[in-house]
Amino acid sequence: MSENKKEKRSFEEALQGLEKIVNQLESGDVPLEDALSQFQEGMELSKYCQETLNNAERTLTKMIGNDGTVQNFEEPNTAGGE
């Protein structure tokens, strides 16, 4: 049940959830059992956010070539000499 909720969660919702967990854990007012549970949930949210960012980066670094094929975007090599 919680897996479905996490799958439907947007990046922004996951990030807000992660921030809330971090703030609660930093306060130090969380019982150990709850802290462990929140830490585990925070790690899952962190992984989800990182995967979402990686996917976005892969999407943004592609371009469509003149022939219609998808290619990785590469900046021109400006290093060189004279």
Cα→Cα distances 6→2, 32, 75, Å: 6, 24, 36
**Could you write out the DSSP letters of every residue in 36-72?**
HHHHHHHHHHHHHHHHHHHHHHHHHTEEE-TTS-EEE
Q: List, run by run, the mean pLDDT of 10-residue segments along the chain (82 residues).
A: 57 95 91 94 96 90 74 60 50
Instruction: Say if residues 45 and 18 touch (Cβ distance below 8 Å).
Output: yes
Count of all residues that appear for the chain in the document: 82
- The amino acid sitting at 4 is N
- DSSP structural state of residue 2: H
Topology (CATH) of 2-72: Helix Hairpins (1.10.287)
**Domain ranges for the chain:** 2-72
pLDDT of residue 7: 56
pTM to 2 decimals? 0.67
